[in-house]
Amino acid sequence: METRLWSVSLSMVVVLSLGSCGGAGKSSSSDAPPPPPSDGALGDAAEPPLALQNNEGGEIRLEWIQNAAGATTSRADAYFYKSQTPAWHTLPAFPGCIDVRAKDTWPFAQGTITPLDVGGVIIHPTNPSNGSADLELTRDSQGMDHTVACSTSSPCPAGSMCNAAGYCATTDALARPHDLWYKKAANFAANDGSFFPADQGYSVFLTGSSEWPPQVFEGSIGRGPYMPSDWAPVSPPTNATVPLLQDTDLVLTFNPDASTALPAGYKVNTVVAFTGTGFAGPIVFCQVDGTPATLTVPAAMVNIIRQYTPGAFSRIHLTHHLEELTDGTPRPTADRKRIDMLTIWCYATPWAAM
């Protein structure tokens, strides 16, 4: 079956989990390229570009992460929705630094979800000559398979949460549980940061299942994830614990992005996000459009973060791109589902209240 692959690129933000990286996004209509012509399989009229107000259909996230010891790792995850109630969630108010502990906005909020089995997920580099190779993500269906029971008196082990059916579902970098998802775990001990080289695109292949046909998102033509350049922070240094002082702004400085082949409409943005002890998921994150030299975390936000000492914060450049999750069947605009594709180049650094 021929499937539709339409795209729109977005202005971004991102959020982190403890000692790692993750992503979120905000759209501007000025960022979107014009829609492509109809491919003929879905009728004569091209549909409008996807937006963050379209229904959530899932996420594909590729990450390169360096920790304070200088070790690097690659991490990836993907999940897809057959349905979700509510169908989509609003975004935090950007730009600026935001307290996200309520988890009531995308990408932290989750509705009542029926997962979609897409078979398998394969990530293919558009430039394999640099040593990168195809990566097939590992399927994790623990929550759907009902393998580990849980209750108030018998909680789930670390890295998982009790789902509505009373079984443990494993969680991703943003502490979101998934009954079915596909992943490549972080592995700093292996120093395996070579899976997702910087400044190149990636294609994504959904191999198909009994409930979903194969679908391809071709990175070589600007319809897949694109990893930003291998930038680095300026200050504070990445290899030492950063002190957070009461009632004091935290000023961060950055090198700019130097991506050489961003597809039309794509944009690299800057995010800083904080996690800490005793809270699952991000506490505060900050978004700045583009890659400016300086980002300031206001004292009021620093005071919130300090309540969870010690913790980690991540400095990120990322891209965010939308594709449609479709089996080729025409749908009303209101029923179309988006896949959020995020690529993240990230430095994770410890912090402590002092």
Question: Residue 58 has what pLDDT?
Answer: 98
Phi/psi for 306 (5° steps) reads: -60, -20
Mean pLDDT of the region 153-165: 95
Question: Residue 156 has what pLDDT?
Answer: 96
Q: CA distances (Å), 24 to each of 14, 272, 273, 287, 320, in order?
A: 4, 12, 11, 10, 8
Q: DSSP assignment, residue 86?
A: S
Question: Residue 167 has what pLDDT?
Answer: 97
On whether the CB atoms of residues 169 and 178 are closer than 8 A, the answer is yes
Mean pLDDT of the region 97-118: 96
Q: What is the pLDDT of residues 31-65, one digit of tens each?
A: 333 333 333 333 335 678 899 999 999 999 999 99
Q: What rounded mean pLDDT belongs to the chain?
A: 88
Q: DSSP for 115-167, please give it.
A: E---S-EEEEES-GGGS---EEPEEE-HHHHT-SB--SSSPPPTTEEE-TTSB
Residue 303, judged by CB atoms within 10 A of its CB (0-12, 13-18, 19+), counts as: middle
Q: DSSP for 35-61, please give it.
A: PPPP-BBTBSSPPPPP-TTSEEEEEEE
65's enclosing H/E stretch is strand 55-66
Question: Residue 120 has what pLDDT?
Answer: 98
Q: What is the pLDDT of residues 245-265, one digit of tens each?
A: 999 999 999 999 999 999 999
Alpha-carbon distance of 144 to 9, in angstroms, equals 32
Question: Residue 323 has what pLDDT?
Answer: 97
Reported as half-sphere exposure (CB side, CA atoms, 13 A), residue 157 has a value of 5
306's enclosing H/E stretch is helix 299-306
State in Å, rounded, how far the first CA of the chain is from the last one: 59
Binned at pLDDT 50, 70 and 90, residue 160 comes out as very high
On whether the CB atoms of residues 275 and 311 are closer than 8 A, the answer is yes
Say yes or no to pLDDT of 352 above 70. yes
Say yes or no to pLDDT of 3 above 60. no
Reported as half-sphere exposure (CB side, CA atoms, 13 A), residue 312 has a value of 21
Binned at pLDDT 50, 70 and 90, residue 24 comes out as low
Binned at pLDDT 50, 70 and 90, residue 20 comes out as low
pTM of the model: 0.88
Binned at pLDDT 50, 70 and 90, residue 129 comes out as confident
Alpha-carbon distance of 267 to 237, in angstroms, equals 26
Say yes or no to pLDDT of 26 above 70. no
* β pairing state of 55-66 and 337-353: parallel
Closest CA to 224 of 118, 341, 133: 341
Say yes or no to pLDDT of 140 above 80. yes
